[in-house]
Structure 1
Amino acid sequence: LIYIPVLNNGFLKTWDDNRYILENEHIKDLTFGSAAGFFSMYYDGHYHPLTLLSLAIDYKIGELNPTVYHTTNLLLHLINTMLVFLFVHLLFSRKKFFVALVTALLFGLSTMHVESVAWASERKNLLYALFFFASLISYVLFLQQEKRKYFIIALFFFLLSILSKVMAISLCVSLLAIDYFFDRKLYSRKVILEKVPFFLLAIVFAVVAIYAQKSSWGEDLSQNYYTFFERILFAANAFVLYILKLIVPFKLSGFYPYPGEVSVAFIFKSIIFLIVSLVVAGAVVYFYKRSKTITFGILFFIINIFLLLKLFEVPAGDYIMADRYSYIASVGLFLLISAGLNYLSSKKAIHKKIALTVLIVYSIFISLQTFNRASVWKNDITFYTDIISKFPGAKVAYTNRGAVRKNEGKLNGALSDFTKAIQLGKDDYKAYSNRGAVYSDLGNFEKAVIDYKKAVSLKPGKPQVLASYGYALLQTGDIRGAVGSFNQSLQLQPVNPEVYTNRGTAKYNTGDLQGAIKDYDMAVQQNPRYLNAYYNRGLAKLNLSDYHGAITDFTGALKINPNHAEAYSNMGIAWSRLDEKDKAFDSYNKAIQINPNYFEAYLNRGIDKYYTADYKGALEDLNKTIQLNRQVGPAYYFRAMIILQSDKQAACNDFINAKNLGFSLAEKQIKIYCK
């Protein structure tokens, strides 16, 4: 029940759900061939074919219905909770039911696990944990029953786990902790040989994982450059905070940024945490021969959290810790708590009551925290707003929330977020580029140019930024600058029909119609269904008096979008120039039918009616044109020509309006009729 809010959550469209689900074409056509393909590909810097297969199955069931993905995640977490119970129950040879039950209870309720359950893309964490726990259970059965089939099953589940997420490699060392718990001789030939296949698999897939990350992020996986001493301090912070947050879920966040600066205060706190970490590690030595339960619990936690402390920038990322990293390791901590409560309740009756009371109160507290935390992951806005409330200096939260607000049309909110992101990181080209995009949407192209110029200076080699910069320059009338920016963009990314089309428009505006047509040709060649290229090429051909070519292009645009009123109206002009008036009127009529407020279609039809002597029909269309837009000079001119004989004064007024609006033919009529 505490995870019910998860089922009402949507996708996080700017936090991996876009890459793993919404825009992941690999999962949208599940066949035997595509499923096999998952095993021969890296995806998003990872090798996790079973995770992709799992997501593909969900897509097959419900396509992009988020409830399907969240339901699967929740079911996996419930299964994992049951497996934790079974693992601990078997670990104690079915003698400590209370310890197993409470460990599973705390695992299932843990607020730190909300990230893994509520985030659709974190399927890999739940899936690898399922096979991880299944492998541990099989290994325990192998030790207890000495049947080789359980060893093979344990190895098989380990393979499945590692095919879901490479962090499963920590299982190899976890098996040694289990060996210790069962009093096995860790250095015996038998124990060592048993681990060989596990460690061989771990090494192979660790290498695969490194190549997978480099395939996406390059040779240098570091995203933050810190000294090893600083990384030790960060690791100590994360280690202690994982323990504290698992016990009392305070200031949980979907993103934990590195500190802005390694201050003296931070170093002092970190040294204290480092001492605490060493004490926890030292407890293993102290309790090694005194308490197997305590030693195993600590070992299990350390083993499964160590690789996630980011001492060596593994896994890669610009965050210091993540709630999801505690998912498997938490079993060790919860085992210690459960064993402690069991020890307390085994004493006097009053102690048992105290232990049960503490457990009940704590479970209710954690349940409420988990219930509330699940709603934080409802959508991008709630997610980033929560991060900002915890870490006001988290630049990425402002940047991504701004992107979401922009897509939702909340431009002022987006502008505020991008401005804040720039204040937090003045060297972030993305923040400037994003704010430039908002200014463009607001029609403030002058400010957009300033932001894009800054973004380009910070990151000169980004083709999309150069393309956007060119578009903003084009809108401000700097055609030469626009063409230069488009040229740079196309040098970096030659396949971009949108940029070719925009460069064609820039050339069109300078009168270089042939050059414009060449760019439009390239855009159509790269994307045969790129509507703007057909339409704009049709306009260029119309101006070159290539009326048949214009009609062909307008027809091509209409095949892509049958409701393109502008294409119908301009095709009408082309038919008119060919003296095909019936076809011209038919085109105008269709344009008006699509958009009854499209004044240019009324204007063009009115002018053609004037030249075919349908003065009544022309007057109606010209009046409608002026009603829709009072800034159209030709409409006043042709209306004046129609009413000149019946109302000379009104006609002169229209001629004057036409002249003032830049329609030069009106000047001659004014000299003749309006002295």
Structure 2
Amino acid sequence: MAKKHKHKAQPVTPAPAKEQPVADTTQPSQQPALFALFLMILAAAVYALSVKNGFVFFDDDKAILYNQALQNPSLGKFFSGQNLGMYAPISWIGYWIGSMISGKEAWGYHLLGLIFHSINAGVAYLLLRQIIQRHWPAFFAAALFAVHPVQVEAVSWAAALSTVLFSTFYLLGALAYVQWKQRTTPLYYGLSITAFVLACLAKSAAVTLPLVLLAIDAYQARKWDWKFVVNKIPFFAFSLVFGVYTFMTRAQEGHDIEATSAVFSTLDRFWMVCQTVLFYPVKLLVPVSFSIAYPFVKTGGSWPWTYYAAPVVLAGLAFIIWKKGRSNADLLLGLAIYLLPLSVMLPFRTVGSFELRSDRYVYISCLGLFLLLALLVEKMKPVQRYGVLVGIVAVFGFLSFQQTKAWKDGIALFSNCVDKTPEAALCQCNLAYSELLSLKFEESAYHYSEALKYDPNTVEAYNGRGQAYFNLKKIPEALDDFTNAIQAGLVSPKLFLNRGKCLVMLNRSQEAIPDLDRSIELESQAPEAFYFRAVAYEKSGMPDRALQDYNRAVELNPSYLEALVNRALILMGLQQFEAAVSDYSRAIQLNPGMAMLYNNRAYANLKNGQPGNALEDVNQAIAIDPNYARAYQTRAVINQSLGKMDQVQADMQTVQRLQQGG
């Protein structure tokens, strides 16, 4: 037999262990609610200064101060009317709550904006965490959402309360839907639909939520399935209703003021849409040169080169994503969250009076890009992540704090806009309007002229500059501007009133009457229009018609001092002295320090057979203004009727001395 060889037993060497991923020590053991609360506090701290800002008369006036639904508010008025071509009763309720907090001051609206933005920061974190099932990128993305300066506009603008308010319901609707997918509890599905409807009732931009929910389904299933559409049918039904209704009302609003709308061709809009899709990511990654508006401005009939390059860049990015990234679910989710909410804000067509890009349009969409950035940072080591998070949040928070100051008031805001884009007529025009409201008429006229220089089609600038000229007593120049505005197609009761006033002041009263008729036809409750038409009638030798209009002016505004005085003068001419005394008495109650009123009532009392009362009145006129020569003349007439000739002589000597400047 062959000898068997014994083999020495070899020591067992353990196989090399497979490389384990570095433990993520950043995963929290605490409840997500604590991190959401932290983000809410962070957002409130960064934007706290916004509460000190005032109103900005760029929608704040139309959306809030002059919103008919907020005049004698009721649920019926909130849910049955429109404003600026929009149906947004939930936002109007928000504005009403703001007015209940601070009255006619702006801080109540800003406080609500701050509160809802803080809530949105917390909900954004909870939503992203539920979708991607990872804490770190969800927290990082929500932190950027909370403090990025692109959010300043939505938080610091009173009228933009509608943006943060609809976003709250939008995010809550998405969160409830994800909860329903996980728990299959009908309650969450019902809450999701309810929140979605409330979001649409706050702002029609919410109609994109069903598309975002489809993207969430596809992300979590890692595939597309047409079955995802079935449970979205109620969502799409509401989207269709709100979308069609809004399209109709906004288009009508744009048509009503078509004279102020820029005209862009289909090709123009192609360049505009492509450039806008790239504009916001650049603004988010390089957060500088923020403005209330970024108008589309051509130079010499051509777009800047970035517009022509945008389609090429987008095509390249789409090709890369198709070849390399279509299997990357995180990438596709981030792009969907960015593009889908933004889609209704892209300039495919005009639904208002002008085209622009605005920071608030990307309020929700920015979450998608922030998520992509967070997913990139997630690949870093934990310590590096913390450094990047703290550094970026600190820088963005500081920039937001500084940018909030630009919203102090309209002049500060649009001065910033003009500094950034002086060639934008929109910025020039709104700065001029803010200056007009602040009684800075020279500056206002200058910036309206600049608006017309850069864009002669900004015909609203004629109306504004006309008002500035009118207040500067440049009546012929004002008349020319009002005429240009009317010839360009602008129609408003104030515009026809202003041209009528100019014609009256230039002693062209008969020419003024048709304009004042048109103003009253457009707005039958404006006392000033009746007053100036009365003046025009009076100067045209029609006292009876003048009296009727003065009566209407006083009826609409019982405190209309000028109308009371002028009506009293007509009544004197008609020998209705007692009625004239009554009007002068009401005028004196309104302005007891005006010597002329006492003098005129003295004369009316004298004619009404009350010389004693007349003497008291004229003495009061002289007590108010000892150098009022006409009062001494009136007193001389009264004393003459009383037979006090020595006093008559003394008063006439005083009149002579005053007239000679003695």
1:383 is aligned to 2:428: no
Quick check: 2:602–2:615 contact (8 Å CA) kept in 1?
yes
1:290 to 2:307 alignment: no
The counterpart of 1:343, out of the listed 379, 385, 398, is 379
Residues 333 and 497 (structure 1), Cα distance of their counterparts in 2 relative to 1, 3 Å cut: same
CA separation in 2, counterparts of 1:390 and 1:339? 33
Change (3 A) 1:487 1:60: closer
Report 1:107-256 matches (<5 A): 107-183=145-221, 186-189=224-227, 191-214=228-251, 216-218=253-255, 223-256=261-294
For the pair 1:330 / 2:328, whether they are aligned, the reply is no
Q: Which residue of 2 aligns with 1:57?
A: 97
Q: How has the CA–CA distance of structure 1 residues 75 and 541 changed in structure 2, closer, same or farther, with 3 Å as cutoff?
A: same
Per-residue CA deviation, residues 530-552 of structure 1 (Å, 9 max, x unaligned), is 44333212101213333233224
Structure 1, unmatched stretches of 5+, are 346-351, 637-675
Contact 1:214 1:220 in 2 (8 A): no
- Looking at structure 2, the residues matched to 299 and 499 of structure 1 have their Cα atoms a distance apart, in angstroms, of 54
Aligned-pair Cα RMSD in Å: 3.0
> Could you tell me which residue of structure 1 aligns to residue 5 of structure 2?
none
From the superposition, tell whether residues 615 and 375 of structure 1 become closer, same or farther in structure 2 (CA, over 3 Å): farther
AA paired with 2:367? V
Residue 463 (structure 2) aligned to one of 418, 433, 441: 433
Report the CA distance shift for 1:615/1:63 in structure 2 as closer, same or farther (over 3 A). same
For 1:27-38, list aligned pairs within 5 A. 27=70, 29=72, 34-38=74-78
Q: How far apart, CA to CA, are the structure 2 residues paired with 1:456 and 1:487? A: 15
Do 1:388 and 1:398's aligned partners in 2 also have CA atoms closer than 8 Å?
A: yes
Taking every aligned residue pair, what percent have the same amino acid on both sides?
A: 24
- For residues 173 and 264 of structure 1, the distance between their equivalents in structure 2, rounded to whole angstroms, comes to 35
Structure-2-length-normalised TM-score: 0.85
Task: Map residues 422-571 of structure 1 onto 2, 5 A cutoff.
Answer: 422-459=452-489, 461-487=491-517, 489-490=519-520, 496-524=526-554, 530-558=560-588, 565-571=595-601
CA deviations on 1:29-48 (whole Å, 9 max, x unpaired) are 45xxx124312222221111
Give 2:47's aligned residue. Answer: 3
For 1:411 and 1:404, how far apart are their aligned partners in 2?
Answer: 10
TM-score normalised over the length of structure 1? 0.83
Whether the 8 Å contact between 1:27 and 1:59 is mirrored in structure 2 is no
Label 1:262 to 1:291 Cα distance change in 2 as closer, same or farther (>3 A).
farther
Q: Relative to 1, partners in 2 of residues 1:602 and 1:371: Cα closer, same or farther, differing over 3 Å?
A: farther
Confirm or deny that 1:403 pairs with 2:433: yes
Number of the residue aligned with 1:371: 401
**Is the Cα–Cα contact under 8 Å of residues 463 and 493 in structure 1 kept in the other structure?**
yes
Number of the residue aligned with 1:26: 69
Higher relative contact order (CA 8 A, sep 6+): 2
Pairs aligned (count): 617
Distance 2:326 2:488 in 1: 59
CA pair 600-242 structure 1, distance change in 2 beyond 3 A: farther
Preserved CA contact (<8 Å) 2:330 2:372: yes
Q: Secondary structure in 1 aligned to 2:379? A: helix
Q: Name the counterpart of 2:42.
A: none
Change in 2 beyond 3 A, CA 1:131/1:607: same
Q: 1:164 to 1:446 in 2, by over 3 A?
A: closer
1:319 paired with 2:363, answer: no
Helix, strand or coil: the match of 2:412?
helix
- Specify every segment of 5 or more residues in structure 2 that has no aligned partner in the other structure, as ranges: 1-44
CA contact (8 A) 2:291 2:416 kept: yes
1:81 Cα shift? 0.5
Q: Comparing 149-158 with 99-108, which one deviates more in the overlay?
A: 149-158
CA distance in 1: counterparts of 2:356 and 2:554, whole angstroms = 47
> Structure 1 pair 621/464, CA: closer, same or farther in 2 (3 Å)?
farther
State yes or no: 1:66 paired with 2:106: yes
Show the counterpart of 2:36.
none
Report whether the alignment pairs 1:604 with 2:604.
Answer: no
Letter paired with 1:192: V
Post-superposition Cα deviations, 1:244-296, rounded to whole Å, max 9, x if no partner, equal: 10111122210122213575563x42232122223444455345653211111
Higher mean alpha-carbon deviation, 303-312 vs 374-383, is at 303-312
Distance 1:281 1:485, change over 3 A: same
User: Which residue of 2 is the match for residue 83 of structure 1?
Assistant: 123
Letter in 2 for 1:45: G
Q: Which among 331, 347, 352 is matched to residue 310 of structure 1?
A: 347
